[in-house]
Amino acid sequence: MHHAAADAAWPGYSSGMDSSVYPARRARLAAALRAAGGGVAVIPTAPERNRNSDNDHPYRHDSSFHHLTGFDEPGAWLVLNASGACAIGCRAKNPEMEIWEGVRLGVDAAPAALGVDSAFDIETLDAFMLEWLAGAPAVWFPFQPGAGVAPRIDGWLATLRSRARSGVEAPAAVRDLAPLLAEMRVRKDAAELATMRRAAQISADAHARAMRFSAARFRAAPDGTVREYEIEAELLHEFRRRGAQSPAYPSIVAAGANACVLHYAASDAELRAGELCLIDAGCELDGYASDITRTFPADGRFTPAQRELYDIVLAAQRAAAAVTRPGARHLDAHHAAVRVLTQGMLDSGLLDRDAVGGVDDAIAATAYRQFYMHGTGHWLGRDVHDVGEYLSLGEAPVERLDGAGRTIHAKPSRVLEAGMVVTLEPGLYVRPALGVPERFWHIGIRIEDDAVVTDTGCELISRGVPVEAGEIEALMRDAA
């Protein structure tokens, strides 16, 4: 490699997103700190994690740190006070290490590149923090068990208290920054929604690719099998070739009965003609997750029993989407889905009317949990199960149903607002049991889409892959 050319080609720092958003976000956090009594906030990025010997897990920044900086190097801390002053501690330039690990932004370049007031060598964090914390009313950091931050804070506070006789005032309060960060992240701005739309489209195309792959394989060899990992490879191929950095979570590719294991990971099981394949997979693009589930027939044609249950799940998802709008509560979608699913369980004979009564009785007795045992959605954003409070903390406790259909006395579920993003993911999972019609045994179906709450309703940004049974069959029929 020619030295000078290589040097010039080194990428330096690039953030991926318009860098003007980060100072604005930090200003909002400073305002939130002022409103909450002031103080100094410290936000470390994620640590590097060793896999074995010299071999680390792929590095992933901390989501909140990245939200405020756009900076994706390890070994960095953001420090910010209520008047809006902010500094970044980062790794010093190190030509020797950079040969092995890649270019570092470095202390000198950081202020201009990140728009922060100042930067310091992360090795001098202790000294820097002692200066910033002296006289501050509070120190804020995201409380996270095991993150190793609390002992550092304790150490700084102890040092400052030991200097009391020389007139140093240690912060009187240690406060959790996580709720403030979550509140900033729960509503997505236009730039974030644009990235999430792109992520959802890549994932949708990956699901369509997997469906076409399965169809083509069973067309070529109707009595053959396809391994789950072969389908997973199609997903990963599409994610990476489109520039997504990684899956947002371990891909679920579940052949047949494996779909009834909720956290099944793609493994080596064989998918056969006549079985369903459940894929729950989504890419992470530029720090944002997508989360899509589709369930399709291996060979492209639903059996009548599969189709009967599939259409119930799809109707449940439609009902959930219909109530997802500003002013509705987060749990409304779940309750709407449960009602349709439970009605479907009664109509199909999964639940025995004589045993459980009508739909209201079956819901009140949570009889549906035999076949639908999880929630209908979660916040989606930088993290696949994104941060954000699920309760309306400003309201008084009321008697209500929780996600599992139990009557509880608690704060109401949160009111949705435009810019929030939730998943809608009802399902049915039929394990063999006495009284359950045999034609449904081992069928597991989930349909999951990503919904942006708009001014008037919601927009499903992951519908780039078909969801109607007939449309899935058509796509698979047309596959090469």
- Given Mn ion, ligand GLY, none, residue 249, with its beta carbon under 5 to 8 Å by kind, binds ligand GLY
Considering CB under 5 A, how many residues would be counted as binding Mn ion? 4
* Active site (annotated) includes residue 378: yes
- Given Mn ion, ligand GLY, none, residue 299, with its beta carbon under 5 to 8 Å by kind, binds none
* Active site (annotated) includes residue 61: no
Nearest residue (beta carbon) to ligand GLY: 280
Among 384, 453, 469, 472, binds ligand GLY (CB under 6 A): 384
Q: Is 10 exposed, middle or buried (0-12, 13-18, 19+ CB in 10 A)?
A: exposed
The least distance separating ligand GLY from the CB of residue 366, rounded to whole angstroms, comes to 21
* Active site (annotated) includes residue 263: yes
Among 62, 425, 450, 473, binds ligand GLY (CB under 6 A): 425
* Active site (annotated) includes residue 442: no
Q: 118-121 and 86-90: which strand pairing?
A: parallel
Residues 321-380 that bind ligand GLY (CB under 6 A): 378
The least distance separating ligand GLY from the CB of residue 424, rounded to whole angstroms, comes to 10
The least distance separating ligand GLY from the CB of residue 92, rounded to whole angstroms, comes to 39
240, 272, 353, 378: the catalytic one is 378
Q: Which position has the token pair 């997979």? A: 281
Among 192, 280, 284, 386, binds ligand GLY (CB under 6 A): 280
Q: Interface with ligand GLY includes 249 (CB under 6 A)?
A: yes
Among 230, 275, 280, 286, binds Mn ion (CB under 5 A): 280
62, 230, 234, 280: the catalytic one is 280
Site string for Mn ion, 407-446 (x = CB under 5 A): ----------------x-----------------------
The least distance separating ligand GLY from the CB of residue 51, rounded to whole angstroms, comes to 23
* Active site (annotated) includes residue 448: yes
**What tokens appear for 171 in the block?**
């912060």
28, 227, 374, 442: the catalytic one is 374
Q: Interface with ligand GLY includes 266 (CB under 6 A)?
A: no
* Active site (annotated) includes residue 57: no
Contact 241, 269 (CB under 8 A): no
Whole-number Å distance between alpha carbons of 377 and 141? 28
> Please, which residue, 234 or 473, has the CB nearer to ligand GLY?
234
Among 73, 284, 291, 308, binds ligand GLY (CB under 6 A): 291
Residues that bind ligand GLY in the complex, under the rule CB under 6 A? 249, 280, 291, 378, 384, 425, 448
Q: Which residues are catalytic?
A: 54, 263, 280, 291, 374, 378, 385, 425, 429, 446, 448
Residues that bind Mn ion in the complex, under the rule CB under 5 A? 280, 291, 423, 448
